[in-house]
Amino acid sequence: MNNPRIMSRLVRRPVSTSKKTTERRSSVRLCRAPRHSHSPVQDKKDDDHSRRGVVWWTSPIKSQPGITSHKARYPLSFPAQKNAMAAAVSSSSTLLPARTISSARPVPWTAAQCLPTRVAGSRLAPCSLRVSAGRTRRAEAARASAAGAGGAPAAALPAALLFDCDGVLVDTEKDGHRISFNETFAERELGVSWDVELYGELLKIGGGKERMTAYFNKTEWPTKAPKTDEERKEFVASLHKRKTELFMALIEKKLLPLRPGVQRLIDEALGKGVKVAVCSTSNEKAVSAIVSCLLGPDRAEKITIFAGDVVPRKKPDPAIYLLAATTLEVDPSSCVVVEDSNIGLSAAKAAGMKCIVTKSGYTSDEDFVIADAVFDCIGDPPEGRFDLEFCANLLQKQFVS
């Protein structure tokens, strides 16, 4: 079929070693066939090209109905085009059907042009020389827009950021909970007082009620305590309720400040749409008081609290973190936990989550070998220890400081 518009044809030409020709030949070339054979003027141009160091590539094409036999010639300057054509020699050499032959004038081919991936009607495999500047620019722009600092792809943000409360949000244990326990014991005249060192040992037991029960079982129950297990359980619950009231009074007076960097990291997470929750073994009222009084009501509305007896088993059991992931509808593996103790760390890792430890007064000497990162605090600028970007990178790597 003769088409007056330009169409492409790939032809196979064996490389000739004859002395009668100075043309270099390729096994595969893109040819555009002329309407007529070359004139003397064209032959003169050929000679001019030869003197300037230009080599003509020729392609013998068999006569087709209505088309004059000819040699299509294409200049190729050395040295750049020489290397470009070397790659074409090894590519496919399947001939195009005759219907794709064009009768248009020949157009010189240069290395800046590129072979098509596919020509209509051909069976040519994708060419290794094909380059699309437009696609390349678009791909580079897409990579640049997705790149973070240093040219690396930006890491995905955590689906949720989960904080322990005591020792993480506020260093409450020594001058908060311990003081409230001792005031409760004094009000009931139980003759019990927990000093700083003893309370540090008791912190290895998760939960205030569980802590008192374990202490009384190990030493002895106060004389004013009931004798049956069921009554003792109610007795401990009443002590813990009063202790929580005293603790909340301390929080409302704002005598215990937030630890450095807590508010900054929470604001960063909320600002970027990351879910934030507090997961604690402490009483839910006490945790709510800390969040609302120290972080403010606006932040408190956006923070989910999992605390107290919301799960049957306390840390180091992972139940509270698994409940948080289920309730927030996130994958545990996409969550980052901030803890301060070994029992909290064990709970987070057992839930399949990344965990950053910020040491507190009572946990500075604990072994956090299974932690993904360990710091003395979160920190505020210019002494910030980590931020949300670090948490995002932590989902892909392990950092230990």
Other Cβ atoms within 10 Å of 53 Cβ, number:
10
Sheet holding 373-375, edge to edge: 303-307, 275-280, 160-163, 335-339, 354-358, 373-375
Dist. CA 285–CA 315, nearest whole Å: 18
Neighbour-count burial for 229-259, b at 16+ CB within 10 Å, e otherwise: eeebeebbeebbebbbebbbebbeeeebebb
Dist. CA 94–CA 110, nearest whole Å: 22
User: 166 catalytic, yes or no?
Assistant: yes
Q: Which DSSP state fits 38?
A: P
Which of 43, 46, 47, 166 does the annotation list as catalytic? 166
Dist. CA 68–CA 60, nearest whole Å: 11
Q: Distance between alpha carbon 229 and the CA centroid of its chain, in Å? A: 51
Quick one: which of 140, 2, 24 has its CA closest to 77?
A: 24
How far from 195 is each of 207, 244, 249, CA to CA, in Å? 18, 19, 21
Which of 164, 171, 340, 372 does the annotation list as catalytic? 164
126: Cβ contacts below 8 Å, ≥ 6 apart:
117, 118
209: Cβ contacts below 8 Å, ≥ 6 apart:
236, 237, 240
Dist. CA 353–CA 184, nearest whole Å: 37
Beta bridge partners of 170: 166, 258
**According to the 3-state scheme, what is the secondary structure of 315-340?**
CCCCHHHHHHHHHHCCCHHHEEEEEC
Contact between residue 286 and residue 173 where contact means Cβ atoms under 8 Å apart = no
User: 171 catalytic, yes or no?
Assistant: no
Contact between residue 64 and residue 98 where contact means Cβ atoms under 8 Å apart = yes
> Pairing between strand 354-358 and 335-339?
parallel
Catalytic site positions: 164, 166
